[in-house]
C-alpha cells in the first residue's frame, strides 16, 4: 500500500512538474518572441514612397554674342576702274560696251526701230557704227609737219573702227578717250588680250617712257619703242609695228557684217530690223576673244617728216 501510494504520489508530482515546466516554457517562448525581433501576425506594410523628385535641367549659361566684327576693307579688284573711272558709277559708264556685242546692243537700242525712215549708215564719221565697216581702228600720229621731226607729238582723232565709235558716241560713253582707255585696260588686264603696240595712252606723253624727255618727236619715239625703220616723208607703218593681234580676224568679221547688211542691197547700211537681228546674231556668236579684245584692235600710223 505504502509502495503504491508513494509511486502514485511521485507520478502525480512528476505530472505537475511536467505540466508546469511546459507552461513555463510556453510562457518563456512568448516572451522571447517579443524580445528577439519576431512578430505576432503579418508584418506591417513597408513605408510608402513619395513621388520621385522632379528633375529640371540646369539653365545653360547665358551666351553673349562676340564683339561686333567688321569685315576688312575690300581690296581693289578692278585696277582699271580704279585708274580710269575712280568715282564714276557703272550707270555712267558700263563695262559691257567694251565688247562688240555689248556695244552694238546698246547702240542699236539708242537708235530705236531700224527702217527706211531710220537706217543706220556705217561709213560716216561719228555715226557710231564704224565697227560694222571694220572693227580695226587706226590712230594717226605725226610730228606736226616740222621738217626734221622737231615738233611736238600730235595725236589725231582715232580714225574708223570700234575705237572711233566708242570715243564719239557720247550717249554710250560720255567719257570720250578715257572710256576707250578703260576698255583697253580691261581687255588687256582682265581678259588677257594682246594689245599689240596700241599704246595710244602714252602718245600724248602720259608715260615718259614712250618718248625722250629732251626731244619729244617721232624719231626719238621710234627709237625708244623699237620703230627704227628709216625715216620716211610719207605716212607709213614699219613692217610688223602696231599690228593688232586679231587684225586679220577683224578684217574677216567686217566681211560678215557687210554680207548681213547687203541683204537689202546696200552693204554699208543697216536698213531694217531683219538685218539688225542678223548682225546681232553674228556679234553674240563671236568667240570670247574676238568679242572682248576689240578695244586693242588699234593700228597706229605715224607721219614721220624727214
| pLDDT in 10s for each residue of the chain, 306 residues | 444 444 444 444 445 454 544 444 444 444 444 555 554 566 666 666 666 667 676 666 676 666 676 666 655 578 999 999 998 988 899 899 999 999 999 999 999 999 999 999 998 878 899 999 999 887 766 666 565 555 666 666 667 799 889 988 999 999 988 999 899 999 999 999 987 655 444 444 434 444 444 555 555 655 555 444 443 333 444 444 556 778 889 989 999 999 999 988 888 999 999 999 999 999 999 999 999 999 988 877 665 554
The pLDDT, as a whole number, for residue 177 is: 86
Of 259, 264, 250, whose CA–CA distance to 292 is shortest?
Answer: 250
For residue 231, give the 3-state DSSP assignment.
coil
Is the CA virtual torsion 182, 187, 191, 197 positive or negative? negative
N-terminal to C-terminal alpha carbon distance within the chain: 193
Query: How many domains in the chain?
Result: 1
Cβ neighbours around 112 below 10 Å, total: 8
Contacts of 83 (CB under 8 A, 6+ apart): 182, 185
Q: Is residue 146 domain-resident?
A: yes
The pLDDT, as a whole number, for residue 44 is: 62
pTM over 0.75: no
Is the CA virtual torsion 169, 174, 176, 179 positive or negative? negative
Q: Is residue 108 domain-resident?
A: yes
Q: Which range of residues forms the domain containing residue 217? A: 79-303
The pLDDT, as a whole number, for residue 248 is: 87
Q: Is residue 276 domain-resident?
A: yes
The pLDDT, as a whole number, for residue 166 is: 92
DSSP character at residue 264: G
C-beta separation of 224 from 210 below 8 A: yes
Q: How many CA atoms lie within 13 A of 74 on its CB side?
A: 5
Beta strands in 77-183 (DSSP E): 120-121, 137-142, 154-155
C-beta separation of 161 from 253 below 8 A: no
Q: What is the pLDDT of residues 41-88, one digit of tens each?
A: 666 666 666 666 676 766 666 766 666 766 666 555 789 999 999 989
State the DSSP H helix or E strand holding residue 235, giving kind and residue range, or none if neither: strand 235-236
The pLDDT, as a whole number, for residue 299 is: 76
CA distance 108 to 116: 15
Whose cell is 518563456? That residue is: 28
Q: Is residue 74 domain-resident?
A: no
Q: Is residue 50 domain-resident?
A: no
Whose cell is 557704227? That residue is: 129
Contacts of 293 (CB under 8 A, 6+ apart): 187, 191, 193, 194, 245, 246
Amino acid at each position: 500500500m505504502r509502495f503504491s501510494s508513494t509511486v502514485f504520489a511521485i507520478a502525480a508530482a512528476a505530472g505537475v512538474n511536467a505540466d508546469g515546466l511546459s507552461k513555463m516554457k510556453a510562457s518563456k517562448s512568448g516572451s522571447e518572441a517579443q524580445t528577439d525581433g519576431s512578430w505576432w501576425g503579418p508584418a506591417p506594410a513597408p513605408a510608402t514612397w513619395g513621388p520621385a523628385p522632379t528633375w529640371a535641367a540646369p539653365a545653360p549659361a547665358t551666351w553673349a554674342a562676340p564683339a561686333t566684327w567688321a569685315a576688312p576693307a575690300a581690296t581693289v579688284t578692278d585696277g582699271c576702274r580704279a585708274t580710269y573711272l575712280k568715282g564714276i558709277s557703272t550707270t555712267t559708264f558700263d563695262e559691257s560696251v567694251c565688247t562688240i556685242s555689248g556695244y552694238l546692243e546698246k547702240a542699236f537700242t539708242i537708235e530705236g526701230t531700224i527702217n527706211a525712215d531710220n537706217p543706220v549708215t556705217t561709213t560716216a564719221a561719228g555715226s557710231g557704227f564704224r565697227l560694222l565697216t571694220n572693227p580695226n581702228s587706226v590712230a594717226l600720229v605725226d610730228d606736226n609737219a616740222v621738217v626734221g621731226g622737231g615738233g611736238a607729238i600730235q595725236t589725231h582723232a582715232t580714225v574708223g573702227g570700234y575705237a572711233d565709235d566708242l570715243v564719239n558716241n557720247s550717249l554710250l560713253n560720255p567719257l570720250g578717250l578715257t572710256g576707250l582707255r578703260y576698255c583697253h585696260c580691261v581687255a588687256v588686264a582682265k581678259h588677257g588680250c594682246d594689245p599689240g603696240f596700241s599704246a595710244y595712252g602714252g602718245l600724248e606723253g602720259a608715260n615718259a617712257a614712250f618718248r625722250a624727255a629732251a626731244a619729244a618727236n617721232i624719231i626719238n619715239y621710234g627709237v625708244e619703242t623699237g620703230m627704227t625703220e628709216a625715216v620716211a616723208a610719207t605716212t607709213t607703218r614699219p613692217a610688223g609695228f602696231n599690228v593688232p593681234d586679231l587684225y586679220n580676224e577683224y578684217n574677216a568679221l567686217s566681211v560678215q557684217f557687210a554680207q548681213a547688211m547687203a541683204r537689202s542691197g546696200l552693204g554699208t547700211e543697216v536698213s531694217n530690223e531683219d538685218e539688225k537681228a542678223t548682225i546681232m546674231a553674228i556679234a553674240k556668236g563671236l568667240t570670247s576673244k574676238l568679242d572682248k579684245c576689240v578695244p586693242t584692235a588699234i593700228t597706229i600710223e605715224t607721219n614721220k617728216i624727214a
